[in-house]
Chain A
Amino acid sequence: MPRYAMVIDQERCVGCQSCTVACKSEWDVPNGSARTKVRQTGTVGQFPQLSKAFYVSQCNQCDHPTCVPACPTGATYQDANGLVRIHRDLCIGCGACVAACPYGARYINSSLGKADKCDFCASRVEKGLQPACVATCPAHAKIFGDLEDRSSDVFRMVYRESARRMETTTIAIGPNVYYRGKPEHAELVLVSFAPVPPRTIAPAAIWSSVLNKFIYLAVGATFLGQAVAFFHQLSTGEKQFDE
């Protein structure tokens, strides 16, 4: 089974946003949202000793996604290739998954009313094409491939050339978008755009902390109550309904 991953070469990226627009065009991403984003990190240093980089981000198809357990209907799931997918027919657009992503990679598609995100152009990949962003990048800064394929560029970059994950000590969920380039540029990303703890939306928090227990209690108690009454009824014999 393939294990897809992407490597972003920060030294190649010029921040031109070709990938953003190619993706938007490929997947009808409504204005206001993006499946892939290109952002400039803060600039470090004082004139003229300066350093800056670009951070290209998208869904990381994490090894241990925090969005999957957050989805009440199971619309978001991890497929056999490790890609995190969204079953549109099951999504109600509650936004729990959007809040649960430490990388802010998900959005609610305003025209569909459902959650949406990058899926490494799964349908293109199935046909043997590269993801749209990878294909269009003038700087060839995005490299896509199968980590199970030892001859692939991504294998080499991840396992032999220390391409790294954007992880912190607290958020390490195994993102499969890796970054290669100068360590200082990766650090710049973590300063400006480090992954944040997954959030639980208020209704889900209330449910899982208090209300579900309350409902279990209510249903359980009433059920038990009736069971007791039933056994009582059996043991005392049917009360004559008419004296």
Chain B
Amino acid sequence: MSSSSIEIEPIQLTAERAEVMSQRRIKKHHVAIVLVHWFNATTWLLELATGSGLVVSPQYRFMPVWYLQMMEGIFGSRANMLRFHIAAGLTWVTVFLVYAIFGFRNYLKMEVLQREIGLDRDDFRWLKTRTLHLFGRSREPLPPQGVYNAGQKLFALLVYAAIPLIMLTGLIMAFHWFGTTVVAWAMLIHLLAVGLVVSGLMIHIYMGAVFPEEKPAFYSMITGMVDELYAYRHHFKWWRDVKLQEQAWMAKLGEQHATPPPHPDAAPAQVDQAVTHQPKPAE
């Protein structure tokens, strides 16, 4: 099959094709990403719980008094809670630093970021259309999305901006860097950044854990895989890229072998045969 047979836009799928696609898996998240995601989530939970338990003065606090007392009881003292908060925070910073240093090429290079979380015209249209859908004001289909949809991209942008700020301001407060005035502003920025991320988290957690359409996304953060049908329906442009890569890989293999390997669209011998979007030589 030639490349021209991979559609440019999503089309109505035949039942057979849909069935086949629903059985096949594409790797969406590298195991490193999965680990970092859950590490991040756990740390955030702990840091939110302890951080919000630390802000006690009437002028600043945002948690009810019973919560503050409960947290103080759990940790024995608020000083202990602060130590825990700083310790967990430092662990968080360290892990991310390691991730950033070792994973820079694969995950944080500008072209990677551009591809994965950069907003294009389809994204802006998606945002508009999705919002209208929410209010029942449009029946237009959503424009095709990349590996992450526009909503996810927005959240990612927020998080990518907020996390370094939260880390830096956290360090400033923990070690009294740059003097009193900077520490005071750091606290404000820390709270602000955390607050914004938390509001984003509301949507992120709902979408990920509760909203049925995105269930595969949730599982992909555990297994690293999504099924192809989901990818076709929700992240078409990424699906297309994967397909093109497969094709190119197949073409290369075709040059090297006498018998062409089976067509990717043919029914697979085994249900769980996996095809990655990073070409690997077959057995």
Q: Measuring CB to CB, which residues of chain A are less than 8 angstroms from any residue of chain B? A: 68-74, 87, 89-90, 92-96, 98, 108, 113-114, 201-204, 206-208, 211-212, 214-216, 218-219, 221-223, 225-226, 229-230, 233, 238-239, 241-242
Q: Which residues from chain A contact B210 at a C-beta distance below 8 Å?
A: 226, 230, 233
Distance to closest chain A CB from B211 (angstroms): 7
Q: Which residues from chain A contact B196 at a C-beta distance below 8 Å?
A: 215, 218
- Contacting pair A207 B60 (CB below 8 A): yes
How many inter-chain residue pairs (CB < 8 Å) link A and B?
A: 127
Distance to closest chain B CB from A100 (angstroms): 10
Cβ of B58 under 8 Å from chain A: yes
Q: Measuring CB to CB, which residues of chain B are less than 8 angstroms from any residue of chain A? A: 18, 22, 54-60, 62, 78-79, 82-83, 173-176, 180-181, 183-185, 187-188, 191-192, 195-196, 198-200, 202-203, 205-206, 210-213, 215-216, 229-230
Q: What is the CA–CA distance of A223 and B206 in the complex, to the nearest angstrom?
A: 9
- Contacting pair B180 A94 (CB below 8 A): yes
Q: Which residues from chain A contact B18 at a C-beta distance below 8 Å?
A: 242
Q: What is the CA–CA distance of A116 and B230 in the complex, to the nearest angstrom?
A: 60
A-B contact pairs, 12 of them (CB 8 A): A89-B82, A90-B82, A92-B174, A113-B183, A202-B184, A212-B60, A215-B62, A215-B191, A215-B198, A215-B199, A219-B202, A222-B200
Q: What is the CA–CA distance of A208 and B184 in the complex, to the nearest angstrom?
A: 13
A interface majority secondary structure: helix
Q: Which residues from chain A contact B211 at a C-beta distance below 8 Å?
A: 229, 233
Distance to closest chain B CB from A116 (angstroms): 12
Report if A68-B57 is in contact (Cβ < 8 Å); known contacts: A87-B79, A219-B198, A241-B213: yes
- Contacting pair B212 A238 (CB below 8 A): yes
- Contacting pair B203 A94 (CB below 8 A): no
Distance to closest chain A CB from B150 (angstroms): 16
Report if A73-B191 is in contact (Cβ < 8 Å); known contacts: A92-B173, A215-B196: no
- Contacting pair A93 B82 (CB below 8 A): no
- Contacting pair B195 A218 (CB below 8 A): yes
- Contacting pair A233 B59 (CB below 8 A): no
Q: Which residues from chain A contact B79 at a C-beta distance below 8 Å?
A: 87, 89-90
